[in-house]
Homo-oligomer: A and B are copies of this chain.
Amino acid sequence: MEGVENYNGRMNLNFRSDNESPAADAIVAAVVEANSGSAWAYADDTLSQQLDTAFSEVFETETRVLPVSTGTVANSVALAAVTPPWGAVYCQQHAHIYNDEAGAPEFFGNGLRLVTVAGENGRIDATALEHAMKANTGHGVHSYAASAISLTQSTECGTVYTPKQVAALCDMARDRGMATHMDGARFGNAVARLGCSPADTTWRAGIEMLSFGASKNGCMAAEALLLFGRHELRDHAERLRKRSGHLLSKMRYVSAQLLAYLEEDRWLDMAANANRQAATFAAAVESHESAELEFPVEANEVFMRWTAEGFDHLERHGVEFLKWPGRNDLARFVFSHCTRDDQTAALCKALNAR
């Protein structure tokens, strides 16, 4: 699904994850271009120094930017910067920070606690959040202090929060003096879907810190922790980035990717392609006789319920996808910045062959 055929000469039908896609040509070109002459180390190079300005423009507010290599470090640094070791962070039950980061937030946060909150379609339910936060109070030093919330945009279920939904949750958090974070591993897909300004779904809705993902959507290894308003956290965040081994000496190669990613709305165009391919497949699932969508498809992920025989059938046709752990009736298909129409068509055809 990356614009070339796969090793066995057949069409590449890997829909396992967008992080298995290659980087976009423009991103690679930017890296190659950055590889010229000497550059000051540790993010003091001229490319890295442009990040604050570039992101501030895109987000329409003064933004502080820490380039990093993975979303896990962006998330963990953000949460650790606003949460004491005895603080709790509230997140949705499917959140990547809880299920897929091997406890990185707990590690960076010296034993902070993640508290999961229920909600449909990957979104935090406001009532459940209210209940969870209340359950944690009135017990003083014996319990964790409610310190932050973390939303995922687009969600782990492939849905998107509206700016209004984001604002409602952020208001609840801020009323209690808690910090607000957004895990934007697939932030581009969310903004492409919403058609709003990146600001509308972040700081204008009350988000203080954003893990801005780029690796999944066309970069090699480039993410950024963005601080809106709370610039005083920069020192703390930089200390943690260094102390966790994430301050690359040759940061220019990460920053080059990020700058090229933002340039000419490239990030939104790439995300829009991924979303469009997902929508095409979602339509095929909806019109299929036996397959069904598990969640509404609002970004670049399709969760499909089907029979075990159906999934076997797809695999025999060379389709790669993720069978959901613990569920033999559910699978995930992810579409990327470089998924082509003919690849999605081939997938739909394979689906409809049964």
Contact = CB atoms under 8 A, between A and B. Distances in A.
A97 to B, nearest CB: 11
Interface stretch (A35-43, A48-56, A273-281, A311-319): A35-43
Contact of A325 (B85, B109, B111, B138): B138
Contacts of A248: 69-70, 215, 221
A144 interface: yes
B4 A144 contact: no
A261 to B, nearest CB: 14
A198 to B, nearest CB: 23
Given A103-B144, A143-B100, A220-B250, A36 B22 contact: yes
B102 A111 contact: no
Interface residues of A, number: 81
Contact of A138 (B17, B72, B107, B326): B326
Given A243-B102, A243-B107, A20 B1 contact: no
Contacts of A298: none
Interface string A4-42: 111100001010110111110000100110011111111
A181 interface: no
A84 B239 contact: yes
A137 B99 CA distance: 11
Nearest to A24: B35
A135 interface: yes
Contacts of A202: none
Interface string A52-90: 000000000000000011101100100000001110000
A249 B36 contact: no
Nearest to A40: B20
A150 to B, nearest CB: 15
A42 B253 CA distance: 20
A107 B102 contact: no
A102 B102 CA distance: 21
Given A12-B38, A22-B36, A107-B244, 16 more contacts: A4-B37, A6-B38, A14-B38, A17-B41, A20-B39, A22-B39, A31-B31, A86-B243, A99-B139, A102-B141, A102-B144, A104-B243, A106-B113, A107-B243, A134-B326, A246-B246
Interface of A: 1-2, 4-7, 12, 14, 16-17, 19-23, 28, 31-32, 35-42, 68-70, 72-73, 76, 84-86, 99-104, 106-113, 134-135, 137-139, 141-145, 215-216, 220-221, 236, 238-250, 253-254, 325-326
10 contacts: A2-B36, A2-B38, A28-B31, A70-B248, A86-B103, A101-B142, A104-B243, A138-B325, A141-B247, A221-B254
Closest 4 CB pairs of A and B: A73-B245, A72-B245, A106-B111, A19-B249
